[in-house]
Amino acid sequence: MSATRRTLEERVADQERIAAITALKYRYWRACDSKDPEAFRDCFVREGASIRFGRMGDYDDAAGLVATFEKIALRTVDGRHVILDMHHGIHPDITLVSETEAVGRWTLRFRQVNLADNTEKIATVEYDDAYVVEDGRWKKSKCHARELWSITRPLPEGTVVTEDF
């Protein structure tokens, strides 16, 4: 067997790594939508990360992004959340660099209801990520998000928004 030919076990292990990275990204978006800062934080490496989020800021560690997330996602008025988000990730393109490193690109379908401004935003965002294994689990070491386009429009009169957090 040549050195370039991979065994079935190696190929299965690669697919398991990709599945674990995919699950990590979905956990991240689910934490965003469920307003769970601890689960959100747990998706990143313990220390140091390259995080670039355009208007939301650039950070050299996940702590700064978590603080911004908490400020926006957990804000309430009269006991109701002001910002309601929906993240749907599609088009994963994950490349394994080694058994413990990978890079990935994703497209995000994003929808947000802002009850403070009475608006709805729809956007598409491209993610450029890097992943490493830390303490036996895949974590994000890089997360660069770039909004490609968005539409913000007023909510129609009579719109009823409910939530159950």
> From the first residue on, what is the mean pLDDT of each consecutive set of 10 residues in the chain (165 residues)?
77 97 98 98 97 95 96 94 97 98 98 97 98 98 98 96 87
Structure confidence at residue 1 (pLDDT): 44
pTM: 0.93
Degrees, nearest 5: CA angle 71-76-81: 100
User: What are the CA-CA distances from residue 80 to residues 68, 111, 114, 157 (Å)?
Assistant: 19, 18, 11, 19
Predicted confidence at residue 4, as pLDDT, reads 72
Q: Domains of the chain (ranges plus CATH)?
A: 8-154 (3.10.450.50)
pLDDT computed for residue 164 by the predictor:
85
In eight-state DSSP terms, residue 55 is G
